[in-house]
Structure 1
Amino acid sequence: MATDGKENNKDIIRQKLLEHQGEAKIVRKIVMIISLVIILLIALIGGAGYLYIHSSLKPVDPKSKVVKKVDIPIGFSVAGIGEKLEAEGIIKNAKVFKYYVKLKNEGGFMAGEYELSPSMDIPEILNRLKTGKVLQKAAFKIIIPEGQQLQEIAHIMAKATKKTDDEIFKGLNDKALINKLMVKYPDLLTSEIMNSKVKYPLEGYLFPATYSFYKPNPTVEEMVTAMLDKTQTVLADYSQESKDKHLSVHQLLTMASLIEEEATAKADRKKISSVFFNRLKKGMPLQTDPTVLYAEGKHKERVLYQDLEVNSPYNTYKNTGLPPGPISNAGKVSIEAALNPDNTDYLYFLAAPDGSIIFTKTLEEHNQEKAKFISNKK
């Protein structure tokens, strides 16, 4: 009987242990589920917050042609300016405006009556408020087309401001200015632009667009700041895609510049992009002629075999991978192509005389297509 009692006690203890273990498992599951729910909620709230703020920085209506007169009184606070702009329908959210101004350490806004539009983004509005562009026409405009190199942009800027090409170009490459701009645009102008192999640090970073200036003789810094503001605004739309593709801003602009330089009016840029990415994956040199011409500092209709021997890190016939940096500025279409290449097996492409692009998978096919054009010229 004593033995039976001990056995019963053991069974009871074992049963209680099993019950405790079961309860512990349930508790652990509950804790794990609660933890996952909390993490998910934090992620959702963070993501929603990011999207909300990102959206609030964009123009209220990019296509709007409405222009409103907005009076900014003397001594108006940043919060007051934001509330005024929101009430007039110029910005989406006064609080986001206020925190953006603080984050960017902006200030020095000038009182007066301004002409503002819902089509303006916040950097453009801030630029107006800082420079006092009050109900006045632009002193001049600078039009920067796609595919322009820094020297060409310097020429356009010089022509508009009656400065010399050399004066502008030296300003664009001034180390003190570039270091200052890197502090102002830390996410845009990273240490990659200061790589010793990079020819010109700001190459590819001055976005193609029309820029209005309200001072007859702005400094190089003032002009470049307007262009970098635009570049930063445009690239903000692609920041998540860039991260998903594991492309830095510098790599993205470099790839986009290659696509921009190789594309024609009839070109399918996403297919060109696929060729470049397919070659990178296989460790093949990109072998794109515009990089050779950029290395030589020349503009030629036709690249000769002797050009391919130029000793430069930009020569993609001699070096694998991307060149050290962009070789021109790229528009949105090329940036989007760099982020979203088509899914193809193409490794080669050839520009036909009519502007179309012929894509092939093998060197043999590529040479056959090339031979057709050579025979047609005879």
Structure 2
Amino acid sequence: MENDSKKEVMFTRMREKKKEVKVVRRIVLGITLVLLLIGFIGGRSVYKYITGALQPVDPNSEEIVQVEIPSGSGLSSIAAQLEKKGIIKDARLFKYYAKFNNESQFQAGTYDLSKAMTPDELIQSLKTGKVYREPVFTITIPEGLTLSQIAKVVEKRAGIPQAEFLAYVNDEETINMLMGKFPSILTEDIKAENIKYPLEGYLYPATYPFFEKKPSVGTIVDSMVRATATNVTPYLNYLQTEEKSVHWLMTFASLLEREATVQSDRETIASVFYNRLKVDMPLQTDPTVLYALGEHKDRVLYKDLEVKDPYNTYQNKGLPPGPIAGAGKSSLEAVIDPAKTDYIFFLADKEGINHFTDTYEQHLKNKELYLSGK
């Protein structure tokens, strides 16, 4: 009887222990499942963060960001600089990614990078010393084009109708927005009373790469004005010293761009214009007449010189109200550093070669010699 009682107690304790073991197992299993779930979720989050951080910051961005990589910069400082400029999302991950791919030999220099570039494109650029990215297409704007002519090029290359392009560049909201972005380049001068088109001359002639199939008109125009700012900014100190405006520079340079037939003539024609301005003589340059007329002609007639328009430099002294075309770097530099001459007159012969003189008598002889047809 006593033995049966002891056995019953023992079995009872064993059953209780089994229950405890089952409870413990359930708790351990529950904790394990929770930890696995947390690990899975955490792992997915980490994976998602890493893959996201190694994607371009903005795949559709056309903005060019200038990044200076000093000589002797290590991978950590380069990555930090790229993150600071907004080119990458996470400097540490970029650094680890580069190390994982055994990439560390980068070149010092100034880079024009984009937020749309992938880590591989950035690494390739920093290795080769040049931006390594293939554009979807390019738009080339030659020197000396007017806004209307630029609109035709954009329509042909980007499919944006001329009317849409011209409406955008002449819209007051567009003008104010761009003036806010580039205040040292686009000043109140472009809104002067007699200005025909505010952005005339401010869309820089260059070849522009685009990395999306259909860039907006705003993206295209912003790129062109930004290029103007990049190329004109080095002259700002000179202009301030000479008490001249950016608008003066762009206007003067546009005349040289339309008049010059060869590179060396730009500096000489600039000297002619400077000399005429000194003696209060009209510039008398044919391209301003054509701009006033609003049409292209192979030959300017005497009756054309009588057109009443602020841009006609036969009828008005000094520079015209604004640029008449887009000027390139050579013309900008010719304004800053013209030739030293006493020339007052020049003309282009039938071959497009310019002939200069400092007297009206010789100028008349040049006309007889080169333009009479004899």
TM, length-normalised to structure 2: 0.69
Separation of aligned partners in 2, 1:189 and 1:372: 44
| Residue 356 (structure 1) shift | 2.3
Question: 352, 356, 364: which is aligned to 1:367?
Answer: 364
In structure 2, the CA distance between the partners of 1:120 and 1:192, relative to structure 1 (3 Å rule), is: farther
Question: 260, 268, 272: which is aligned to 2:269?
Answer: 272
Paired residue for 1:195?
192
Matched, 1:284 2:288: no
Separation of aligned partners in 1, 2:196 and 2:107: 39
1:84-111 deviations in Å (ceiling 9; x for gaps): 966479x99977995xx6xxxxx69768
Which structure 1 residue ranges, 5 or more long, are not aligned? Answer: 1-70, 102-106
Letter in 1 for 2:216: T
Paired residue for 1:225?
222
1:227-261 deviations in Å (ceiling 9; x for gaps): 11111111122222222332211000100000110
Matched, 1:179 2:176: yes
Is 2:83–2:89's contact at 8 Å kept on the other side of the alignment?
A: no
Paired residue for 1:140?
137
| Residue 73 (structure 1) shift | 4.7
In structure 2, the CA distance between the partners of 1:280 and 1:96, relative to structure 1 (3 Å rule), is: farther
Matched, 1:153 2:150: yes
Separation of aligned partners in 2, 1:271 and 1:93: 48
Matched, 1:354 2:358: no
| Residue 308 (structure 1) shift | 0.5
Letter in 1 for 2:148: Q
Letter in 2 for 1:356: I
Number of equivalent positions: 288
Separation of aligned partners in 2, 1:301 and 1:181: 35
Question: 342, 345, 349: which is aligned to 2:339?
Answer: 342
Letter in 1 for 2:192: N
In structure 2, the CA distance between the partners of 1:82 and 1:316, relative to structure 1 (3 Å rule), is: closer
Separation of aligned partners in 2, 1:344 and 1:93: 53
Separation of aligned partners in 2, 1:120 and 1:181: 29
Separation of aligned partners in 2, 1:84 and 1:316: 44
| Counterpart mapping for 1:1-378 below 5 A | 73=54, 87=73, 124-125=112-113, 128-129=114-115, 132-134=116-118, 135=121, 137-265=134-262, 267-375=264-372, 377-378=373-374
Q: Which has the larger radius of gyration?
A: 2
In structure 2, the CA distance between the partners of 1:75 and 1:279, relative to structure 1 (3 Å rule), is: closer
Letter in 2 for 1:328: A
1:100-126 deviations in Å (ceiling 9; x for gaps): x6xxxxx69768999xx979966x42x
Output the aligned Cα RMSD: 3.4
Which structure 2 residue ranges, 5 or more long, are not aligned? Answer: 1-51, 58-64, 99-105, 122-132
Is 1:85–1:94's contact at 8 Å kept on the other side of the alignment?
A: no
| Residue 175 (structure 1) shift | 1.1
